[in-house]
Structure formats: structure tokens, C-alpha cells
Amino acid sequence: MQGQETSTYALSPIPSDMYGFVKTDWEKYIKRDPAKAKKLLAEAGYPNGLNVKMFMSKGFWYLDKFIVYQNVLKESGINLDMTIIDHAAYKQK
């Protein structure tokens, strides 16, 4: 299953079924535009994209989400170069 089939976009920092929920206008940020992102990166001095090095826990509760982020960002020319380490080492860093 894809993310769109299993989740919805957050409309507030507070989930809609909890006290304190206030709907925001975050919808304007939902649409992805990889071509525009590549153009903005080029204008910022990264015509060949941007490489971001990071450490990532091999714990599924982090890693599975960041693999999705990695694939989404790659469309825009941003490469998440993840070094996968065990969770204890990740927390220590």
C-alpha cells in the first residue's frame, strides 16, 4: 500500500479527534512540485541537486518513514544520504 491509501494529511499539530484541534491552512503546502523545487535549488546554487548526509536508526519506527521521505525528496533533486546505525548508537549521537 502507498501512503495515500493508509493516511491523511495533518490539518493541525493536534489530531482532529483531540481537544484543542484547530484546523489550519496547511493545505496550501500539500501539493508537491519537483520541477519548481529543482529550479529553486539551482537558483540557490545547487544546479545538480543537494546531498544531505545523516545518521538514521535502523529501528523501523524511524527508518521506514525516512525511506519514504528519501524517495519523495529525490524527485526534487535532494538526496538523503543515510548512514544506517543501530538504535542505541543513533540515540547516543
The domain that holds 28 is classified in CATH as 3.10.105.10
In DSSP terms, 80 is beta-bridged to 52
pLDDT tens column, 46-74: 999 999 999 888 887 778 888 888 998 99
- 80 near 69, Cβ under 8 Å? yes
CB distance 70 to 80 below 8 Å: yes
**pLDDT tens digits, one per residue of 22-51:** 888 777 777 789 999 999 999 999 999 999
b vs e for 31-47, b when ≥16 Cβ sit within 10 Å of the residue's Cβ?
Answer: eeeeeebbeebeeeeee
The domain total for the chain is: 1
5 exposed, middle or buried (CB, 10 Å; 0-12, 13-18, 19+)? exposed
